[in-house]
Amino acid sequence: MFKVAIPSYRRSDVIADKTLATLRRGGVALSDIYIFVVDDEQEAYEKACPGYQVIVGLKGVIEQRNFILDYFPLDTNIVMMDDDVTQVYQCLSEKTKEEIVDLPSLFCRMIIQMNVEKVTICGCYPVDNIKFAFANKEITTDFRYLIGVLTIIKNKKDSQLLVAPSDSASHEDKIRTLYYYKKEGKTLRFNHICFKTKYFAKGGQCALDSNRLERHSQQSEELCKKFPEFFRIKKSKNIIDIAFKKQTPSHSPS
């Protein structure tokens, strides 16, 4: 019912102990997992991940995710996961959580809800903070960030939903969220489902930009100017980021 796609770059030394271990504990079949790499790293990944399907794709986070969508057949449910996820868990209260040990059931439940809501993308809470996550409704469909670390996409081969290589690589998942929202009028999110990862860690597709934090800030400002009705600036100590603006319920799909 689904395939797991993991775009990875310069992390052959950690992927097995992170995302692959998380999927293994969660009961995902090895045959349903695909690792997408660049050509000159294929051998390293095949050595580090024996038995897994290692596919040579394209360099760059936007290019690789678009390659993944092109690789799988129409209507495939693709679970997009980053390569450094160390846990997927469910919030039980503001103070308690439990690791999800049956990920196929979770993914299938999310896919069923996608069909109910008539959308082709869904995601989970973007921050590893159970207090913040649990304060939200369990499932929402308003305009909210669908972070690329863990999303499910029903592959419709729709060019209008592709993030272009000329778009901001630092914010490719935010742009994708916007495109799907404008097309479908909803962003389906499971707010009590969270994950553990480390943002801006060594390696990764975004590491292609050596000044990634500076570029992230610059592209935040550019994106807010381009889509002022949807995004606003969110400043923190070390970086300028983007926040999503609330949209009125009257928004209709394009």
Q: What is the reported pLDDT for 168?
A: 85
Residues 221 and 240 sit within 8 Å (Cβ to Cβ): yes
Q: What is the reported pLDDT for 207?
A: 47
- Provide φ and ψ at 31, rounded to 5°: -70, -15
Q: What is the reported pLDDT for 215?
A: 87
Q: What is the reported pLDDT for 227?
A: 96
Q: What is the reported pLDDT for 170?
A: 87
Q: What does the alpha-carbon distance between residue 214 and residue 238 come to, in Å, rounded to a whole number?
A: 9
Q: Which CATH class is domain 3-196+209-244?
A: alpha beta
Q: Which residues of the chain have pLDDT under 70?
A: 199-210, 249-254
Count of helix runs (H) and strand runs (E) in the chain? 7, 13
Q: What is the reported pLDDT for 208?
A: 45
- Half-sphere CA count of 202, side-chain side, radius 13 A: 4
36: left (phi over 0), alpha (psi -120 to 50) or beta: beta
CA-nearest of 106, 104, 78 to 90 is 106
pTM: 0.92
Angle, helices 61-71 vs 172-184, to 10°: value is 50
